Structure 1
C-alpha cells in the first residue's frame, strides 16, 4: 500500500527543511510537493541577503537530499514513489511579503497595491521591520507593510548597469577583479 498523499502538511515539511537550509546561512522561502506524472516534485525555494549562487543551491540540494534519504523522511512527506527534488531561488516575480524581501530589493522599482485601495510605484530606498521608504517621483513615501495588499518588483530592461548595487559609484562604473 502506498503512503502517497494528495495533500502534504506544508508546515511539517517546512519545519523539517528549515534547519537544513539555515545551516548554509539561507532562509527557506517556500516548499511544496506537487504531482509530476508518476513522480512527485518537491520544490524548495531558498534565498539570503546578498543573493544565492549556483554553488550555494547545489550545497543545499545535497544536504536536503541526504536528510530525506537518511531519515526516511521522503516517505513521510512525499510517499514511497519516486520524486524529483528541485531547489532554486525565488524569481523577481515573487511577491514581497516579509520585511527581508523588501530589504533584499533595496534600490529596485516596486509596484504596491494598498489595502485601502490605490496603488503606488516607487524605488525602495530603505526597509525596516515595519515599513519601507519608497522614492516616488523624487519624493520619499513611507509604506507600512500592514498597509500593503500586494507588492512586486518591476522588471527594468533599460536600467543602467550597476544601478542595483548601492556601493556602485555614481558614474555607473564597476570594477572587476
Structure 2
C-alpha cells in the first residue's frame, strides 16, 4: 500500500505543478480498496480542481496498472470535521475560530490570528468567575497540539 500511496502522491504533485493555488493534504489507500486523495487550496479547492486531479490520477493508475485489485478513487477537499495538518492550511484559516486539543488532554478555543512553522497564535476568551470574559492572546507551540479543527458558529 505504501508504494501505491507514494506513486499517487507523485502523480498528484505532478498535476499540481500546473495549479499553484492548490495543494495536497493527504493520500490514503484503505484496506477496503478506497483510495482517498484530499486536496485544498489557498482559496478553497473547487470542483474543477477535484475533477482535473481525479481524471489525471485515474488515467495513469489505469495505464500503469499500479493497483492490481478493484478500487474506488475518491478525490475531495477536507471536510469541516477534518483536522488541519499542514502549515498552509493554518495560514489559510487565519481569522477563523479554531479548537485545539492539547497533548496534555486540555482544550483551547479561539480566533487564529497567526501561524508560523513552530506555533499558532490565538485570541481566547478567558472567563474568570464573577468578571467579564477577557480576550487573551496565546501562543501555542505546534508540538503541544494533537489536533486543530476549524469551528463553525451558527449564531
- Range class of TM-score, shorter chain: 0.7 to 0.9
Show the counterpart of 1:3. none
Structure-to-structure mapping, 1:60-99, within 5 angstroms? 60-75=53-68, 79=69, 82-99=70-87
Q: Distance in 1 between matches of 2:140 and 2:39?
A: 26
TM-score by length of 2: 0.80
Count of residues in Structure 1 that have an aligned counterpart in Structure 2: 141
Q: Distance in 2 between matches of 1:153 and 1:102?
A: 9
Structure-to-structure mapping, 1:14-29, within 5 angstroms? 14-22=5-13, 23-24=15-16, 25=20, 26-29=22-25
- Asked if 1:33 is matched to 2:21, the reply is no
Contact 2:4 2:66 survives alignment (8 Å): no
Q: Distance in 2 between matches of 1:46 and 1:89?
A: 5
Q: How many angstroms does 1:93 deviate by?
A: 1.0
Contact 1:30 1:46 survives alignment (8 Å): yes
The answer for unaligned runs of 5 or more in structure 2 is 126-134
Q: Distance in 2 between matches of 1:114 and 1:20?
A: 35
Structure-to-structure mapping, 1:13-162, within 5 angstroms? 13-22=4-13, 23-24=15-16, 25=20, 26-34=22-30, 40-75=33-68, 79=69, 82-137=70-125, 138-158=135-155
TM-score by length of 1: 0.71
> What RMSD over aligned residues (CA atoms) do the two structures have, in Å?
1.9
Question: CA, structure 1 residues 83+119, in 2 after alignment: closer, same or farther (shift >3 Å)?
Answer: closer
Structure 1 segments of 4+ aligned residues over 4 angstroms from their partners: none
Aligned with 2:30: secondary structure? strand
Looking at secondary structure, tell me which structure has more strand per residue. 2
